[in-house]
Structure 1
Amino acid sequence: MTKILLINPHSRGVYEVLKSSAPTYPPLGLCYIAAVLEKGGHEVKIIDMAVEDMTELEVIKQAKQYSPDIIGLSGATANIECSYSLARQLKDIALIVIGGVHATALPSEAIQYANVVVRGEGEHTFLDIADGKDIKEIQGITYKRNDVVINNPDREPVDNLDDLPFPARHLVPIRKYYYLGKKSLGISNIVMSRGCQFNCTFCNKKIFGYKVRQRSVENKFEEIKQLVETYGTKEIHISDDTFNNDRDNIMSLWKLLIKEKIDVKIHPSNGMRVDKVDEEQFILMKKAGFTGVVFGVESGNQEILNNIRKGTTLQQIRTAFKLAHKVNFDEIWGTFIFGLKGETIQTAKNTLKFAMELNPTIAKFHILVPYPGTEDYRRLKSEGRITVKSWNDYKHFSKPTFNPEGMTREKLSKIYDSANKTYLFRPRSIFN
């Protein structure tokens, strides 16, 4: 039996505008890995720095007290510096493994701080490490031998997601998680599928890949039932890249939730495809407990939507919002990105005008963040337009990390500020 400590780094600064109302979710990736490790007979502890608001010194103290054989650190780009810092300070007490979306995108960087880097989905790869399998035989890892970086062959993604145990939420303080100020509610997240067949230039799909793998209706239902009955969850947030990709599957799930009278609110936090919705689907979603819908609009310009390969049209977006308003969801979200390829001052104005036309109850305007692993990152880096030096600067959706094409960085920031204020204080918003 191997003793393993998994650490979720803090995310301070990611939601700097919201501060105390910033959302926190259980670290599902680590919880899935922990569940597979426990099933394999290993001892696992999870420290979630984000929800516990822990300092690095506090984590190091707990890690030394626990005395693990392996320490696993996850991290997105916005908090990878925390993982690297912890790895430097903990490397003498355990084998250091770093995984997650950033390490998968830049394994040659991450291996400078770790003994092993896990690329892609981590459940079976981490189990091989914990089982003591020969490092040369473990798929999906990067390591060093005699200062030479070695990338083993990629591991195939988990084909049948039903084979995975439910996330080990018993290892995290489940009642401490909350969303946008709703601290009295039991909030949890769920992944109903993995993968996305679309190819947006701003999205990193190196973890789950392009092949969409759906969990069965029964498997998803049982996890939702567990969340409600065992953990007292009142609100579930769907974290899929595109959860409404398989209409028949999700419609069957909503019908089952209604039939079994599962009392829980549902929120599609990562959004829905506007080209895969219809009125019947919305009506059933509302009956099943959905409080709202979220649409990734991105831009009010068809040329920019084409540039980023979104695969949607302005008319499809209009239709989706019109149907959502007709069904009368409590919340209709629209998310928009400034600074995409082809952006000018005029196209930015068009996007704000389009947002006004769509009239979401909540509009979230962001500045493009070109994360490693995305086409936008590769393009901007090759053109010498990335301006920041630290991954910590990738925490902000409100501050440009690059020199945009059709305007200055300062102008892009002003457009972001103006759009948020203009939409928030529009007459319709004030009177509603």
Structure 2
Amino acid sequence: MKVLFITKPFIIEPLGIMYLSAAAKAAGHKTDLARISDDLNKKIDEFKPDIVAYSLMTGDQDLYLDLNNSLRRTHQFLSVFGGPHPTFFPELINEDGVDIVCRGEGEQAFVELLNKQEKSEDIVQLENFTIKINGRINQNGMRPLANLDSLPFPDREIVNQFPEIRNEPIKHL
């Protein structure tokens, strides 16, 4: 599966996205990152993602919903919304263009979603997700928290394409 993460321009590393990307790559999937200020239509045309994923804070939801709906007018992809806002407000699933909401920690759940999608298996019962299929909404339970030692290190490669991160005077481990 190919996943395109979309985020607002950043001044610090988007750590949540970096962890999700690392987990997805460790499971054999391809990931890329774009900022909303980038030419997203070109990025989608070139990368051809199966899933476009957004990580949002409260206050950003309208921006990302509008962006998602705009992109879906000309591109086909599954949209996944995660992060703090969808975790606390899973009713975001009721908005047009939102296919899946990830609640809580997403590293294991997101990889399970990618693996099942890749094999065309049923995703309706996946834990940590609220899923809308054919207008029907299914909110599933939460999985136990992962052992943090089992998670891969954040994917720094995904952010090093951006000079504001790559050229930071402070380097990260």
Q: What is the TM-score when the length of structure 1 is the normalising length?
A: 0.36
**1:60 corresponding residue in structure 2:** 41
**1:143 corresponding residue in structure 2:** 131
Alpha-carbon separation, structure 1, partners of 2:168 and 2:9: 22
Look up the equivalent residue of 1:99 and give its one-letter code: G
**1:177 corresponding residue in structure 2:** 165
Query: 2:32 matched to 1:33?
Result: no
Greater relative contact order structure (CA < 8 Å, 6+ sep) = 2
- The alpha-carbon distance between structure 1 residues 137 and 30, as it changes in their structure 2 partners (threshold 3 A), is same
Alpha-carbon separation, structure 1, partners of 2:83 and 2:98: 13
CA shift for structure 1 position 111: 4.4
Alpha-carbon separation, structure 2, partners of 1:9 and 1:175: 15
**1:297 corresponding residue in structure 2:** none
Kindly indicate whether the alpha-carbon contact (under 8 Å) linking 1:95 and 1:115 is maintained by their aligned counterparts in 2. Answer: yes
Equivalenced residues, count: 165
Look up the equivalent residue of 1:150 and give its one-letter code: N
CA shift for structure 1 position 175: 5.2
Kindly indicate whether the alpha-carbon contact (under 8 Å) linking 1:47 and 1:172 is maintained by their aligned counterparts in 2. Answer: no
Match of 1:116 among 100, 107, 114: 100
Look up the equivalent residue of 1:142 and give its one-letter code: T
CA shift for structure 1 position 10: 4.1
Query: 2:79 matched to 1:93?
Result: no
CA shift for structure 1 position 97: 0.8
Alpha-carbon separation, structure 2, partners of 1:109 and 1:116: 9
CA shift for structure 1 position 184: 5.7
Q: Answer 1 or 2: which has greater helix percent.
A: 1
CA shift for structure 1 position 152: 0.9
Task: Describe the superposition over 1:379-403 as per-residue Cα deviations: whole angstroms up to 9, x where unpaired.
Answer: xxxxxxxxxxxxxxxxxxxxxxxxx
Task: Describe the superposition over 1:334-359 as per-residue Cα deviations: whole angstroms up to 9, x where unpaired.
Answer: xxxxxxxxxxxxxxxxxxxxxxxxxx
Task: Describe the superposition over 1:221-261 as per-residue Cα deviations: whole angstroms up to 9, x where unpaired.
Answer: xxxxxx2xxxxxxxxxxxxxxxxxxxxxxxxxxxxxxxxxx
Larger Cα-atom Rg: 1
- The alpha-carbon distance between structure 1 residues 77 and 185, as it changes in their structure 2 partners (threshold 3 A), is same
Paired residue secondary structure (1:86): helix
Structure 1, unaligned runs of 5 or more = 12-23, 189-226, 228-432
Q: How much is the aligned-residue C-alpha RMSD, in angstroms?
A: 2.2
Query: Percent identity, aligned pairs only?
Result: 30
